[in-house]
Amino acid sequence: MNTVSKSKKIAIVYDWIDKWGGVERILLTLHKLFPQAVFYTSYTNLTQASWAKQLPVKTSFIQSLPNFIRSNRILSLPFYPLAFESFDFTDFDLVISVTSSFAKAVITKPPTKHICYLLSPTRYFWGMEKDYLKSGWKRLMVSPFTTGWRQWDYIVAQRPDLIVSLSKTVADRCQKYYRRASTVVYPPFDVDYWQGFKQRRSELKDQRFFLVVSRLEPYKKIDLVINVFNQLVDQRLVVVGEGSQKRYLQAMAGNNSRFTGQVTDQELASLYSQARALIIPQEEDFGYVSLEAQFFGCPVVAYAVGGTSETVVDGKTGILFAKQSPESLRNALARYHTLSYNLKIGTITHGKKNVERFRKEAFFRSFQNLVDGVLSGDLGD
């Protein structure tokens, strides 16, 4: 494919490289699309992010800070603006920031262009402060300065020449908080990659458990699911993931809940294939795991606000519930049990077709066209 970007010098900037998840899959897709790109980030933890060992990555001075500061989002908060603003992109034709917080703050000078792939406006400044700052010391350190942080975040959100939003949900937030219109390009789902696990797995039977696949952080609201299943003692729950709330959630969970920690993609494919349904209680920016589940014929029970409303077809590939409350989730699970056979058949029938809308090839085309448009001067501010 002949593209404007092929001969250009490109930098890809991400907030931090210290884990594996849906966003990290996006970064690897961008690496395939722009193999010549150099990655920039505040810091790396390659023990937790071994996938990044193959990438050319440059880090900021935050990499040299003591680990107890570097690994704590609140203690390291004051350092991020300077970290990203200190990167020099003079020799680059294009900077692509991928961010839900600070990477969009990079400074570029003409003729260097800047495209921001916005995962979300910074959550702990806009709308989710209570979820992110639950503990008293976090509120004490951040809340008095929230107004100043919001002003800074708004200012740096004006820097990109073009903002590309992860979903319609994120585009709406971008307009609300940053007063900027944005183009929506859904993240890539690698059908061929996941198909390999589908072909390799042996015949599996429904193990009659519900599934959660998530980072175990306050804003993910996994405690809501645990509370409901503590009351549904005849129902089994499997929780996949790691995070700061893991011990807290384990302590509150009943004997019918099991925590697996992080699992391989092959193990995850098996869990999706055996589960009754995947439960997503939080307001997602997009909801990548909902696509994974549907691909393997696993219905999704999800909160109706946010990105999952764009990825789950209510009544066909899942159940959407209106409120983040135990009663609303219980009602959704009751509806699931009423429709379980039709939902399972519906997800097997419609799930893969629904996922096709988000194939990585569509992402390649859309993102490449936007990059070429910005580099040629046809798009951007």
Tell me which amino acid residue 22 is: G
- The DSSP string of 295-310 is HTT--EEEESSBTHHH
Can you give the pTM of this predicted structure? 0.89
Same domain assignment for residues 184 and 195: no
pLDDT for residue 88 is more than 70? yes
331 shares a domain with 246: yes
User: What average pLDDT score do residues 111-137 get?
Assistant: 79
Q: Which residues contact 292 (CB under 8 A, 6 or more apart)?
A: 194, 213, 268, 272
pLDDT number for residue 147: 84
User: Predicted confidence band at 135 (pLDDT cuts at 50, 70, 90)?
Assistant: low
Contact 10, 34 (CB under 8 A): yes
Residues 171 and 244 in one domain: no
DSSP string, 114-136: EEEEES-S-TTTTT-HHHHT-SH
pLDDT, position 142: 64
- 381 domain-assigned: no
User: Which residues touch 356 (CB under 8 Å, ≥6 apart)?
Assistant: 191
262, 210: one domain:
yes
Structural domain count, the chain: 2
Spatial distance between the Cα atoms of 269 and 267, rounded to a whole number of angstroms:
5
The residue assigned the tokens 């390291």 is 76
Show Cβ contacts of residue 67 under 8 Å, excluding neighbours closer than 6 positions.
none
- Does one domain contain both 336 and 366? no
Q: For residue 178, what pLDDT is reported?
A: 98
pLDDT in tens, 196-253: 887 554 455 557 899 999 999 988 999 999 999 999 999 999 999 999 899 999 999 9
DSSP 178: I
217 and 177 in one domain? no
Question: pLDDT tens-digit profile of 302-328?
Answer: 999 999 999 999 999 999 999 999 999
Structure tokens at 177: 């908080």
pLDDT (0 to 100) of residue 175:
98
The packing angle between helices 288-295 and 326-356, to 10°, is 70
Domain that holds residue 196: 191-356
181 and 217: one domain? Answer: no
